[in-house]
Amino acid sequence: MRKAYKMSIEFIAEVSSNHHQDINRCLAFIDEATRIGCDAIKFQLFKIEELFAPEILLKSEDHRKRTAWELPTEYIPLIAERCRSNKIKFGCTPFYLDAVNELLPFVDFYKISSYELLWTDLLIACAKTDKPLIISTGMANEDEVDAAVETILAANCRELTVLHCVSGYPTATEECNLAAIETMRHRLSERFCATSLRFGWSDHSVKPEVILRAAHRWSAETIEFHLDLEGLGSEYQSGHCWLPNQIAPVIKTCHEGLKADGDGIKKPNRTEIDECDWRADPYDGLRPFMKIRKVWEKK
């Protein structure tokens, strides 16, 4: 059954490869993510030679050129410091095993990308750090998601968030399949008896209606989205990155909408109290109650 009440939604801005290997641009991303209301910001730590097989790199200049997308490891402490200063969480996706330990002193959480979901060694390495872990499930079927969650929980991860994701860049609205959020919530919570699991949506649609639907119909507790500053990021032209002033009102609307949930107890609201006695009296069906009629005077 879908959760009735949800007190908050965590928004994570994904910088991906839009940083241009420029520390000032990295810090600007953190400041902008803070300004638009994000709870966390996430970077990626990879080395092309440890990301793609040598057979691919040998044949593809385009893949070799992605070294320009690598985040310099010396930036990590500076990014962490700015995040602490801004009181925003710092997360990172490690794409090679040594990256897990390189990030350990600095990150608030790890993220496993959809493309690495089947890499058991990486799942275990992240889970064993005792840091919160988020996984994206693009391209995965139910059995693959089950296996990843089982591996992570067996490695004593105590805080796991599972994001439904479609690895299409961008993703058309009709391809989002947001109902899978609830499918995974029911299936995984029941199978692993894990009430601590969180569920959400990793967005590639750049559609406000998709994020609002994920939040308010399918109770996404975490929403991740790709952010660019001004449309000059390396991945912006792919069509799956939001600009700050596009996503800011969506975040605000989601948070404002949550205020309407209330506590779920059916009772007169404080704004209704004065009207309660003006309902039809059960005795004769006329308004207001008898006790009001006897003392009422026109003001």
pLDDT of residue 35: 98
If pLDDT is split at 50, 70 and 90, which confidence band does 263 have? confident
Alpha-carbon distance 128 to 122, whole Å?
A: 10
DSSP letter string over 101-161? Answer: HHHTTT-SEEEE-GGGTT-HHHHHHHHTTTS-EEEE-TT--HHHHHHHHHHHHHTT-S-EE
Structure-token match 């899978």, residue found: 180
pLDDT at 1 over 50: no
Q: What is the mean pLDDT of residues 281-294?
A: 95
pLDDT in tens, 54-84: 999 999 999 999 999 999 999 999 999 999 9
pLDDT in tens, 10-25: 999 999 999 999 999 9
Q: What is the mean pLDDT of residues 236-245?
A: 97
If pLDDT is split at 50, 70 and 90, which confidence band does 272 have? very high
Mean pLDDT over each residue of the chain, to the nearest integer: 95
Alpha-carbon distance 249 to 255, whole Å?
A: 10
Q: What is the mean pLDDT of residues 159-174?
A: 98
Residue 257 exposure: Cα atoms within 13 Å on the Cβ side: 17
The type of residue at 45 is L
- Look at domain 10-258 and name its CATH class: alpha beta
Q: CA distances (Å), 76 to each of 48, 102, 118, 213, in order?
A: 18, 9, 26, 34
pLDDT of residue 264: 87
How many other C-beta atoms are found inside a 10 Å radius of the C-beta of residue 246? Answer: 15
Helix, strand, or coil here: 74? helix
Alpha-carbon distance 245 to 154, whole Å?
A: 41
Alpha-carbon distance 284 to 189, whole Å?
A: 52
pTM, 2 dp: 0.93
pLDDT at 4 over 50: no
pLDDT at 2 over 50: no
pLDDT of residue 193: 82
Which of 1-15, 72-86, 177-191, 283-297 bottoms out in mean pLDDT, i.e. has the lowest? 1-15
User: What are the sequence ranges of the domains in the chain?
Assistant: 10-258, 268-299
pLDDT of residue 194: 65
58 token code pair: 């040998």
